[in-house]
Every structure is written in structure tokens, then in C-alpha cells.
Structure 1
Amino acid sequence: MKPVWIYLENGTFLEASSFGAETTLVGEIVFNTSMSGYQEIMSDPSYAGQFVTFTAPEIGNVGVNDEDMESKAAHAKGMIVRQYQDRYSNFRAEDSLANFLKKHNVMGISDIDTRYLTKMLRSEGAMMMVASTEIDDKEELKKVLETSPRIEEVNYIKEVSTKEAYVHKNGTYDAIGFKYNEAPEVQAKIVAIDFGVKRNILNELTQAGLEVEVVPNTFDADELITRVKNKEIDGVFLSNGPGDPLVLKEEQAQIKKLIAAKVPMFGICLGHQLLSISHGYDTYKLKFGHHGGNHPVKNIKSGMVEITAQNHNYNVPENITEIAEVTHTNLFDSTIEGLRYNDAPIFSVQHHPESSPGPKESRYIFGEFLSLLKQA
């Protein structure tokens, strides 16, 4: 392995080993507490612009395969691990993680104290960093970092959203993961706005009985409203995605039109945040965000605690209860995890009910979307 040098905006300078792309990249560093699913995490478009520090001590031992991709590419800037295992052992593996990262120009950083990094991020918050296999001078790396745009200044949605509309037809995988389950009979039709949607979200929507047409982030709200009125579609889904939702002014303007027309909608993660902003309640940035597959969320209606997958740095404000009912709360920090709006057929969740990777305790939410569409 070649050496790789890291400079964080708090002045921390580190040397580690490189097992991915050999380059120089700038991004935001966060930590993820999931113990499995590194390929799904790296191919999740919501991680665009970020370096992911894994708290799992060993990464790479199960290799990679095409079936576990959440999108067509790996979108994160890089992954940081304590120990990388190049020799993989899994009957589904098709290649090594290192080759996968090189193919997608993603950096792999190992032989570093990830416990130290995680504790630093927990205390000081997510921050910008630069990693390089080409530059070993601290001051030069500092200059690169200071002259590069921050993650909240970049609209990554333009990079990760589909460029052409398409219909998603696959349902969820069978229990072993060999093949797709047969999709049930279509009971409603929706348009899914792709801000960086994960494949398994689309799978769950289809498995719930929905025909899913996926369209780019440059959607026309007036066209969708007309299609709803003509009963060509029954509602709209707003997907997850990367970056700061406050910079997405064009998308907010279109969502406001959908809200005014009382179009039935369901949002996950970034979609949840955009619904809040479009109702007039701006999001705020969490200190280090929620990233992992083990976050307890309380379902207010049932009283049940669901273990959920999370991936977000931003959150909706508490005063949104002026116009919406809180349906779910995070038991780690009491932040809002779900909303149902008072005067419109609209609801949303901050966590990921498709949970790839993670537990499946919240997947019932996709069925609730179908119920909402039938009632609207």
C-alpha cells in the first residue's frame, strides 16, 4: 500500500495507508456505526461529497458484488477504516473492495485509529478534510482545503440524479438475496423524484404495490399536478439525497406548488427535509449527524421502539409542530424522525425504512404510503 496524507480543518495532520484510488480529494468527514453493508453505504448517493469513517474494525472481508449496489456508482469521496482485508471470502463476492474503489475513483484509507477520529468528530462535529496520495506537505494540503468549496456550497443533486425518466419494476430481494421477489399487483401509480434515490427504496415501493416512475430533480410540478388531476398518477415520492437541502432553491419552488395543490406525497431523508423547508420551516445542521444502522426511533402512535438506519446531517426544526404532527422521534437525541402534515395528505420520515444496510423494522411505512394514496 502507498502512503496517504490527511489534513482536517481543525489542524489535525495524519499519515495512513491507501488501498483505493490514488488521487487528491476534498470532502466532509463523518462516521458510520454500521457493522455491515459497506458496499451499500459507499454506493448510497446521499454520501456524495463525504469521507465515511467506519467504526467496524475490519472492512473488505466479504468483497463486493453487483447485486448489492444502491446506485450505478460509488458516490462517497472515500472510506476510512482501521484495517482493510484484501482477501475476501464470500460466495456472492465478485471482486475486492480495493478494485471497486479504484474503478469508481474513491479513496480507501486504512491503518488509522478510527476510534480516535470518531471521538474527535463526536466532540468537535463533522468537518472538512483533504486526503492525498500525491501531497505529503501539511501546509500545501491546508492550502488545498482552504481554497476548495465546502460541502454545503455544492449542489451534489445535479451529479447523482437520473438524467432520464424510467420505470422501476423490481421488488425486494428474497431472503437469501439471490433474486427479486415477484412484484405484487399494482394498486397505485406514483412518480418518484430522484434526488439521489437508493435502489432498495425503489424496490420497497414496488413491493408495496406501487408502479414507480422515476424522474430527474428537474421535474415540472405543474405537469405532475395535471397528471394527478387526470388520475394518471396517484401521488409523488420525494427521495433521499446528498448535501444541504437549503441550497436546493429550484426544487423547493416546485415542491411548494405540489403542496399548494395538495398532491399526496411521501418523503424520506432529504425528501423529509425539503417538505419542511417548502412549508416555511428551514432545516438546521446537526453537530455530527446520524449515520448508522442501529438508531432507536420511537413510533409515537404505537409506542414501539424501532431500530433504524440513518444517514443525514440535517434536521427539521421543533416548531414545525405548528403545522404537522410528530409521528416518530429519535431516542438518542429526541430529534424529529417523522411527520404527518395537518392539512394535506403528506407525511415523511427522516430515517431509512428500506434499511440497506440495517434492520427492516420500519418497512411498514411503504404500506402506509399506499394506504394514504387510496384514501386521498
Structure 2
Amino acid sequence: MVPLKPIYIYLENGLLLEGKSFGAEGTRVGEIVFNTSMTGYQEIVTDPSYAGQFVTFTMPEIGNVGCNRQDMESKAAWCKGIIVRQYQAEPSNFRSEEPLHELLKRFDVLGICDVDTRFLTKTLREEGAMMMIASTEICEKEELARLLADAPHISEVNYIEAVSTKEPYEHTTGRYDPRAFRYNDAPKPKANIVALDFGVKRNILNELTEAGMHVEVVPNSVEAETLIERYEKGDIDGVFLSNGPGDPLILKKEREKIAKLIEAKVPMFGICLGHQLLSIAHGYDTYKLKFGHHGGNHPVKNVGTGAVEITAQNHNYNVPDTITEIAEVTHTNLFDGTIEGVRYKESPILSVQHHPEASPGPHESRYVFGEFLKMIER
């Protein structure tokens, strides 16, 4: 058994809770959200889009299957911490290489258990996502409140600078084959693309490769002029804009870069943050949802076919309905009617808000990667 120490949680609405710590120690400030996925906690913890956030799992027991190298969605764990009802420190799974608490400690992420996560989730649904502080060092409510008030809000922090790759690299594997316990070899590519890394998940890159694209991942600092020059020379056929953390409205450089790519008619495909940045670069600012969409069970309607797809989602921000002035809506969320996908009318650009790569989650939307390749080929 892992030794459990007291840890204290203070939310910006004044709520103080006590739990037990099973991850890293210390004091962290971040935004608290809840995730309704039934499986895939390792993929969630290592998704760079959660940088700056505490993730409350609605699944009551976490840790059962341990962690392994194959299920890492990036090189590290990026969230501030996770909050669970019950933690299982002794996993039972033939794929397990280490328990979750060891992964959290290695990447300096708080683990909090013995908390009523149902109550927390209901609080967030009623009052919305909010900032919080958690500490294994401080228990006084007044001191926690002071530290939280003095800390920057998540909407003020550019986490992309931390999660983006520092050097370009080629991604050469396809999706993971659970029967062979290995990643597929890359098929012969039909197109060459550059992936702008705002915090990209590994399985997105796997799906791009699996769909028939040679993928070069580049830092978010790469200049638009460099990409445009490479496109005009025929060196690349398109640009992928990845998922990532934080408020898209503070990403001024990224907005300007994408606006230049739009003007140059470079084919583009965006997922999640990339989808939002495309909207902003076109002049349509995003807005924040009350508590966001986080989970692996969100129904989305494909407007073109009428099919309902169960999707994985992770976002707090959404594009406005006025985007229909310049784009055709391709997907809508059946929970709240928000826009989940668009295809721009005057540009070779498409984007989706949900995660067609899943990981964790269902695979019903992975065809979208093939739609990007078809658009490039046309």
C-alpha cells in the first residue's frame, strides 16, 4: 500500500475539502474540471491539453490497470493534479509496468483521493469550472484563499510554451495494434504534412500517419513564412493544427500565424485548440463553456450523413454560431447543440472540436483524418 498523507483543497467559491495524497507533494494552483470517461486515465493524465488543470474523475475507482509506456499520449504528465473517489495502488493488468502514483510522482503531479467526486462534479455543473488550490503543506483556509487569489488565472497563462516540442521531428508510426502489442508501421505516404505542435497527442499523429500522411512535427514557434514557402515549393501539402491547453484568445502569435496561412490558401486541418484558433484567425472569437466537455461518451451528429457518433472530448472553449457566415457546419453536439466541426467555404480548411483519435474513447470519428487527405488530394 502507498502511504496516504492529508491534502487540502480550496475552491474559489470558498469550499474547503480534505482528502488523501497519493501522488507528488507540494502546493499547486489550477482550474478544476471533471471528466466522464470510464477508462483511459493514463491517456488523460498525459494529454498536454490538461496543462494547468485539475481533473476530477467521475469514474469512482482509478488505478486498477496501472500504467505503461504504450499508453503515454506525450512525454510527460501535464495536469496539475487528479482527484478521485478511490485510488487502487495495486493494479491488476498484464500490461501494467508501474502503478499510477509512481507516474504522478515522476512528473510532479498531485494525486488526491478519498474525496466525494460526485459532490464535486455536481458543484462544477451548477457553478461552472473554477480555479482551485491543493496542498499537502498548508491546511489553513485563509492562507489557501490568499495564495489562490494571488495566483494567475488559467486564462492568463500560455501553457503552449511548455508543452510544445522544442525541435522538429518525424512521426513514423501508425496506430497501436492491441493484438500484436506494437504500433503499426507507417504505410506508404500519399501526402506530406507539417503538424504545428500546440500540445499534440501521440495518437493524433498515429492516425494522421495511418491515414496515409508523412508527418513532420514542428514547434509552435515556426514562422508562417517558412511554412508558406515550403508549401509553395511543393515540399509539403498541408498543415495540421493540434490540440493544446489554455484559453485560445491569449495566443496572439498563433492567431497571426494562422491568418497568414489562411491568406496563402494553405490546406489546413485543426483539432480542438487548432479548431478554435482557425475560428479566431478568421475573425470569430471563441467563448467559454460553463463547465466544458470532458469525457469519452459525447454524442455528435454528422450533419452530412445524419449519423450519430459517440466521441471523445476535452475542451472548455467553443467557436461561435456566427462562424456559419464563412463556414459550413459539419458536426454538432447533441448534448447542447454547440458546433463540433466546420468546413470553410472559401478555403481548403476543415476542423473539428471533438477528438477523432479518441485515446481514450470510441473510434467512430477517425474517418475525419481521411477527409483531410482527400481535401489535400483534391
TM-score in terms of structure 1 length = 0.99
Corresponding position of 2:343: 340
The match for 2:298 among 291, 295, 299 is: 295
Corresponding position of 1:150: 153
The aligned amino acid for 1:268 is I
Offset, 1:294: 0.1
Q: Percent identity?
A: 71
In structure 1, list runs of 5 or more residues that go unmatched.
Answer: none
Matched, 1:319 2:325: no
Corresponding position of 1:252: 255
Structure 1 window deviating more from structure 2 (190-199 vs 177-186): it is 177-186
Offset, 1:180: 1.0
The DSSP-based 3-state class of the residue aligned with 1:115 is helix
Q: How far apart, in 2, do the equivalents of 1:303 and 1:315 lie?
A: 22
The aligned amino acid for 1:118 is T
Q: Is the 8 A contact 2:30 2:54 kept in 1?
A: yes
Q: Is the 8 A contact 2:172 2:185 kept in 1?
A: no
Q: How far apart, in 1, do the equivalents of 2:222 and 2:257 lie?
A: 8
Matched, 1:282 2:278: no
The aligned amino acid for 1:23 is G
The aligned amino acid for 1:35 is M
Corresponding position of 1:116: 119
Offset, 1:371: 0.4
Q: Is the 8 A contact 2:186 2:209 kept in 1?
A: yes
Q: Deviations over 1:279-300 (max 9, x none)?
A: 0000000000000000000000
Q: How far apart, in 2, do the equivalents of 1:212 and 1:340 lie?
A: 22
Matched, 1:238 2:241: yes
Matched, 1:193 2:176: no
> Would you identify which runs of 4 or more consecutive aligned residues in structure 1 move more than 4 Å?
none
Q: How many residues align?
A: 375
The DSSP-based 3-state class of the residue aligned with 1:218 is coil
The match for 1:30 among 9, 17, 33 is: 33
The aligned amino acid for 2:227 is L
Offset, 1:175: 3.6
Q: How far apart, in 2, do the equivalents of 1:205 and 1:177 lie?
A: 20
Offset, 1:177: 6.3
TM-score in terms of structure 2 length = 0.99
The DSSP-based 3-state class of the residue aligned with 1:181 is strand
Q: Is the 8 A contact 2:63 2:100 kept in 1?
A: yes
Corresponding position of 1:53: 56
Q: How far apart, in 1, do the equivalents of 2:236 and 2:101 lie?
A: 43
Q: How far apart, in 1, do the equivalents of 2:178 and 2:29 lie?
A: 39
Q: How far apart, in 2, do the equivalents of 1:180 and 1:104 lie?
A: 25
Corresponding position of 1:81: 84
Q: How far apart, in 1, do the equivalents of 2:178 and 2:75 lie?
A: 23
Offset, 1:254: 0.6
Offset, 1:182: 2.4
Question: For the aligned residues, what is the CA RMSD?
Answer: 0.6
The DSSP-based 3-state class of the residue aligned with 2:253 is helix
Q: Deviations over 1:148-167 (max 9, x none)?
A: 00000000000000000011
Q: How far apart, in 1, do the equivalents of 2:86 and 2:180 lie?
A: 27
The match for 2:215 among 203, 212, 216 is: 212
The aligned amino acid for 2:182 is K
Corresponding position of 2:183: 180
Q: How far apart, in 2, do the equivalents of 1:295 and 1:349 lie?
A: 14
The DSSP-based 3-state class of the residue aligned with 1:172 is strand
The match for 1:92 among 83, 90, 95 is: 95
Q: How far apart, in 2, do the equivalents of 1:175 and 1:101 lie?
A: 25
Offset, 1:184: 1.2
Q: Deviations over 1:322-370 (max 9, x none)?
A: 0000000000000000000000100000000000000000000001111
Q: How far apart, in 1, do the equivalents of 2:339 and 2:55 lie?
A: 24
The DSSP-based 3-state class of the residue aligned with 1:236 is strand
The aligned amino acid for 1:225 is I
Offset, 1:183: 1.8
Q: How far apart, in 2, do the equivalents of 1:176 and 1:77 lie?
A: 34
The match for 1:229 among 227, 232, 236 is: 232
Q: How far apart, in 2, do the equivalents of 1:40 and 1:61 lie?
A: 14
Corresponding position of 1:44: 47
Q: How far apart, in 1, do the equivalents of 2:90 and 2:71 lie?
A: 19
Offset, 1:174: 1.0
* 1:258-273 equivalent positions in 2, closer than 5 A: 258-273=261-276
Q: How far apart, in 1, do the equivalents of 2:285 and 2:365 lie?
A: 26
